[in-house]
Amino acid sequence: MTVTSPEPFRIPGYDFAAPTEREATASLARVFGAERGAAVWSKACADAGVAEGRVTSDDIGRVADALAREGGACAAVGRSIHIRMRTHQRLAAKRAELQPRGMA
């Protein structure tokens, strides 16, 4: 499977990006092995109604929810994706809050 999702926005100063499909599938491969991890990801994408290989930052939360519903190690990976998402969102909000007005 080739992942074609664009690189996510990285928060300068933290070098922290939102979770990607590539990172999520790598996590599943570390937990379950490459073949089983790929199968788990495929099922989670199907359950979430998301096209595997084209998971966007808007979609990844739904796929993480599908993983969480599986329970066990799948749920742990799903929760870790959500933690990364929330952390990225909060750091981005804090950075925007601290940015001088008129600066993008």
Whether the predicted pLDDT of 4 surpasses 60: no
Full-model pTM: 0.79
Q: What is the pLDDT of residue 54?
A: 94
Residue 61: which pLDDT band, with cuts at 50, 70 and 90?
Answer: very high
User: Residues 70, 44: contact at Cβ < 8 Å?
Assistant: yes
User: Residues 35, 28: contact at Cβ < 8 Å?
Assistant: no
User: Residues 69, 47: contact at Cβ < 8 Å?
Assistant: yes
Structure tokens at 2: 């080739």
Tell me the mean pLDDT in the region 73-91.
94
User: Residues 19, 53: contact at Cβ < 8 Å?
Assistant: no
The per-residue pLDDT for range 8-51, each reduced to its tens digit, is 666 666 667 889 999 999 999 999 999 999 999 999 999 999 99
DSSP alpha helices (H): ranges in the chain?
A: 21-32, 34-48, 60-70, 72-98
